[in-house]
Structure 1
Amino acid sequence: MSVLVGITGGLGINIVTANLPAIQGALGATPTEGAWLLAAYYATSISLSALLVKFRYQFGLRLFADLGLGLYILVTAAHLLSNDLRSAVALRAAQGVAAAPMTSLAILYMTAAWPEARRATAVALGMGASQLGVPLARVISPDLLQIGQWHGLYLLELGLALVCFAGITLVRLPPIPRTMRFEWGDLASFALFAPGLGLLAVAITMGRYVWWFEAPWIGVCLATAVVLLAAAILLELHRERPLLDIRWLSSGEMLRLLAGVVLFRLALSEQTTGAVGFMQVLGLTNDQMQTLFWIELCAMIVGFVWIGLTIKPERPLTPLAFALSLIIAASWLDAHSTSLTRPAQMYLTQGLMAFAGAFFLPPVQMFGISRAMARSQAHFVSFVMLFSAGVNLGSLLGSSLLGTFVIVREKFHSNQLTQSLSLADPQVAARVRQLAGAYAHTLGDARLRSAEGLALLQQQATREAYVLAYNDAFALVAALALLTFVWIVGLRLRIWIWRRRQALAAEVAG
């Protein structure tokens, strides 16, 4: 049940991300308009974690599971009736709400299947079940599109959701004590947090599509988000029983945890945005990269099983440092790609990236949960909100910033490549004649053939500029991962020195 629910929830947004061009074509939308499907989903899903935890503790797991999956089924079924962009964006926003409980359900079912002594393993495997949707969406998408075009994607989601609903009806989770209750102040705080985080998600997602400095509404969204979040924080600081413990969340330990989550998500965007975008620039589609995605899926499963069996919540830094070393190696190897690179040349590097990605979420989550539960369940709610916001915002930031970096570097390299191209150069003239030869049997006008040859040469220059830009992006990810690795090792060394001093002090005192 955990794997089934996790995959169902994970496929939701990832199956849209993997097939965005096909869905845009079916809806008659431009790439910028199609990006609103992603922005709407994240805008609604990013802020629901804290309320869902409280709902679970107040009304019980049975109602939590039934309402969560019931809403997911209704929203997914409504997608089959959607044939225009506005309704599709509205339904994506609704699905962001409906999909929010799915990860929690996957973890809860996994923890129910393992003994109490292996709780850390269960959390890691439950988290892994929810992450399998990332590569799996690209593995199954080509066949689904051939069967039912873009509605075929939603038919699979609906079928999985119905099977999940039948499963949770037959296999009930054990009850939990109902210890928390909603307060009116929670609604006021959520009314500020939700639109603030939602506007932030929209601005981050859409910035590279409408370009950051050319769309005034991006600045308005960011400024409004800052005001709303600041007002929510002030309100929470003056509440007797706040929804989020801002003082604890702003402690050094929690801020370091948040920074680690965001930095890791930025580094892992090399796989979801960098490698896939690079292959698409070279003209490859999902069906031509299926073997690559199968390797990523298998590597991710192995990684989650490995970390699940070896995880130590009290020592999260060791697996993080190991994962970062793999990311550094994979990104640096990818930074030497050429226009002749194909998926086969990335099997090793992307397998390493998928394997390393599995080592990131479980240790950080278990470390935070252990710190929160040592204080109170209210702190657990605060940590869940921090962790969820960090993961989602880090993922959005990674995709957006890496995509923006590629665009900027492509313009730079394109200028460098084309400024020296001149027909006065014998080599350039010979290449234009060679390319124009492809039109010898269709165009009788020599000037038109020459113009087509120049156009083809410009396309090749643009492709090479994109190759160089993606290499720069891969190198940037490697540098970012290296800096994060140094930071993590520094933290680990500082903790070791502190423990050593504590042990020496205890020996002296003894």
Structure 2
Amino acid sequence: MQYRYVEQPPDWEEHERPAMPGSPARLHHSLARRLAYVAVGLFVGLVGGLGNGLVTANLTAIQGQLGLTQVEAAWLPAAYVMVNVTANLLVFKSRQQLGLRVFAEWGLGIYAVLALAHVFVEGYTMSLVVRGVSGFAGATTTSLAVMYVMQGLPMARIPAALILAMNMSSVAVPLAWVLSPALVTINPWPHLYAFEAGLALLAFAAVVLLKLPKGMQIHVFEPLDLLTFALVAPAVALLCAVLAQGVNAWWLNAPWLAYALIASIVLFTLAGILEYSRRTPLIQLRWLLHPSTLMFMAGALLMRFMISEQNYGVIGLLRAMGLTSDQLQPLYGVILAGMLVGVVAGALTFSANTILPQILVSILLISIGGYLDLHSTSQSRPHDFFFSQFLVSCAAALFMGPLMMIGFKHAMSQGADHMITFIVLFSVTQSVGGLMGSALLGTIQQARAQVYTQAIAREMPATDALVNQRLAQTQASYSKLITDPVQRNAQSRAQLAQTVKREAAVLAFNDVFRVIGTMALSFLGWALYRALRLRFLAWLGGRRAARAVAEASF
């Protein structure tokens, strides 16, 4: 293929030539330098997710510090996702045309400067800006992590490099929860921002000191690329806004949610019409609408939705019981351990022959975890969820390898120009899929909680002797604090209503776990059907034909 070079590339040996424009050359490195590349890659990957993880872990406290409403606080993680997804539209071509070094240093440099400025300029607006820029940095650091780790590992271990690097941003989330209590205890809240700025500066220094080998720089940007970006970026932002605020504002009570969703659909439609008619589109719409690609997207979204059982289900239940971040720290330590086990196991065992077994094991672990959590009560505490959440986190990391490699090979089989579409598709299924999972599970939980609250209230009439006995006991406990009997009665009834609301919330979360477990078993049945079909194809046409089908879809 003929490229229009920005500058003539060096005269590489055949084994040194980059796999594609935008990738670094494969030069020979000493063992120490290879280890340094792996260390920098893993660290940069962690930094890309750790800043946002720290904000998510401490969102309630930040909300109190800045005096925000629940709706205002929800915009902070949403701003990260909005920018992260849309940045992936430009990241791949930016690497190809501007060069890896400029791409790396500018991406991390801007993030480091704004994170540092946030230490001195506090406030809600600045927090939103930094979260948005960290979303761009997250898109940058994920690519950088892959490039750096691939420099340190031999060609035969490229799949392991991808699995290790791509999982770092996910590992950063439980790590942020583990680190947060100590950071907050030692330093006041503004120093949490200083910690994020320090990480960004360290990552920036690392990529400046240990540079990637040069790659090919080619002319790839076209004027219509910017028009596509101008249509898709606000469309994604509006969709993320609807998903992030739907439960808080409630879907049918806020007309702006409908207007935002309509505007998002219109913008996506206009972008689709534009891309479909282009000779060299930014987004390969025909490939995106192919049945095998749609099947891949459905499987990835479904898996991401099921993993939301951990972030929204279990953690939401425990926070509804009044547990704080420091009390959740041991549980997140177990989640972190499970994720590390999944990453290592996936990297060591991954091959073309283990794609389906890893997928099946991941789904099975999630279904087991969902059903283990099914009988939670208001007395459940973090240690009751150690085993189930270890399984779910291990499954989440183990699934990443097959997900990446199936999509990567499927895109590359169509040509390098399909990589942007795959990167955006992967980002949408993981980032927007996470918002979608929380939104749908939150809707189920709140709707069911209302049903259970009404059901419990109907079974507790004011004339019931046990109800009156409970109210009398509560009033007696308040007798030393409240002398007015009318106020004591009102306080005891409010306490009883709070207890009813708590028990209804627990029952609703159990319904969420039931939905996740049932969905996982259904997904497992579908995956087993696919596995049996592949074995039948292998028996008919040989292993090569079956492997081709395995890599095309789930």
Does the alignment reach a TM-score above 0.5?
yes
Cα displacement (A) at 1:348: 0.4
How far has the Cα of 1:406 moved from its partner?
0.9
Aligned counterpart for 2:453 among listed residues 384, 404, 414: 414
- Give, in whole Å, the separation in 2 of the partners of 1:302 and 1:338: 29
Instruction: Tell me the distance in 2 between the aligned counterparts of 1:57 and 1:363.
Output: 26
Query: What does residue 382 of structure 1 align with?
Result: 421
2-structure distance, mates of 1:318, 1:262: 19
In the other structure, the counterpart of 1:284 is 323
Q: Distance in 1 between matches of 2:125 and 2:455?
A: 41
Equivalence map 1:76-95=2 (5 Å): 76-95=115-134
- 2:352, 2:273 → 1: CA distance? 32
Matched ranges for 1:81-480 at <5 A:
81-179=120-218, 181-313=220-352, 316-480=355-519
User: Is the contact between residue 75 and residue 95 of structure 1 (CA under 8 Å) also seen in structure 2?
Assistant: no
User: 1:200-248 CA deviation, whole Å, 9 max, x = no partner?
Assistant: 1111111111111111111111111111111111111111111111111
Out of 525, 533, 538, the position equivalent to 1:494 is 533
Pairing 1:44–2:83 present: yes
Partner residue of 1:26?
Answer: 65
Q: Residues of 1 paired with 2:445 and 2:192: CA distance?
A: 29
Distance 1:350 1:473 in 2: 15
Q: What SS does the corresponding residue of 1:358 show, helix, strand or coil?
A: helix
CA distance in 1 between partners of 2:174 and 2:391 (Å): 14
**2:8 maps to which residue?**
none
Residues 466 and 371 from structure 1, CA distance in 2 versus in 1: closer, same or farther, beyond 3 angstroms?
A: same
Q: Is the 8 Å Cα contact of residues 164 and 347 (structure 2) preserved in structure 1?
A: yes
- Asked if structure 1 preserves the Cα contact closer than 8 Å seen for 2:48 and 2:134, the reply is no
Deviation, structure 1 residue 422: 2.6
Q: What is the distance in 2 between the residues matched to 1:431 and 1:327?
A: 40
2:97 maps to a residue whose letter is: Q
Give per-residue Cα distances to partners, 1:123-144, cap 9 Å, x unaligned.
0011122211110111111122
Q: Distance in 2 between matches of 1:486 and 1:157?
A: 43
Task: Give, as a single letter, the amino acid of the residue that structure 1 aligns with 2:313.
Answer: G
Relative to 1, partners in 2 of residues 1:315 and 1:351: Cα closer, same or farther, differing over 3 Å? closer
What is the total number of aligned residue pairs between the two structures?
A: 506
- Note the C-alpha offset of 1:456: 1.1
Alignment partner, residue 56 of structure 1: 95
Tell me how far 1:445 sits from its aligned partner: 2.7
Counterpart Cα distance in 1 of 2:367 and 2:476? 44
Distance change (3 Å), C-alpha of 1:152 and 1:202: same
**Cα distance in 1 between the residues matched to 2:53 and 2:544:** 52
Task: Give 1:423 deviation, angstroms.
Answer: 3.3
- Counterpart-to-counterpart distance in 1, 2:219 and 2:463: 78
* Residues in 1 aligned to 2:455 and 2:62: alpha-carbon distance in whole angstroms: 35
Structure 2: state its 5+ residue gaps: 1-39, 546-554
| Structure 1: runs of 5+ lacking an equivalent | none
- Following superposition, the deviation at residue 304 of structure 1 comes to 0.2
Return the offset for 1:360: 1.8
The whole-number CA distance in structure 1 between the counterparts of 2:101 and 2:129 is 28
Q: Give the secondary structure class of the aligned counterpart of 2:187.
A: helix
What is the root-mean-square deviation in Å for CA atoms of aligned residues?
1.7
Check whether the contact 1:128–1:301 (CA below 8 A) recurs between aligned residues: no
Distance 1:444 1:199 in 2: 53
The answer to whether the 8 Å contact 1:3/1:130 transfers is no
Mean alpha-carbon deviation: is it higher for 385-394 or for 73-82?
A: 73-82
Q: Report whether the alignment pairs 1:69 with 2:69.
A: no
Q: Which amino acid aligns with 1:188?
A: L
Other structure's SS at 2:398 match: coil
**Counterparts of 1:89 and 1:497, CA distance in 2:** 53
CA contact (8 A) 1:435 1:453 kept: yes
Shift of 1:504: 11
Question: Structure 1 CA distance, aligned partners of 2:433 and 2:533?
Answer: 26
Q: Please state whether the residue corresponding to 1:375 is helix, strand or coil.
A: coil
Query: What letter is aligned with 1:96?
Result: G
* Contact kept in structure 2, 1:330 and 1:350, CA below 8 Å: yes
Check the 8 A contact 1:2/1:129 in 2, yes or no. no
CA deviation map 1:103-122 (0-9, x unaligned): 11111111111101110011
> 1:48-92, CA deviations, whole angstroms, 9 ceiling, x for partnerless residues?
213101111122211111011101102211322343323322332
The CA deviation at 1:314 is 6.3
Equivalent-residue separation in structure 2 for 1:388 and 1:404 (angstroms) = 23
Report sequence identity in percent: 38
For residues 347-391 of structure 1, the C-alpha deviation after alignment (integer angstroms, 9 at most, x for no partner) is: 101111111110122211112112222332101222111111121
Asked if structure 2 preserves the Cα contact closer than 8 Å seen for 1:20 and 1:34, the reply is yes
CA displacement at 1:313 relative to structure 2? 4.4
Q: TM-score, normalised by structure 2?
A: 0.88
Secondary structure at the aligned position of 1:222 is classed as helix
Partner Cα distance (2:231, 2:544) in 1: 48
Q: Check conservation: 1:120, 1:313, Cα contact below 8 A.
A: no
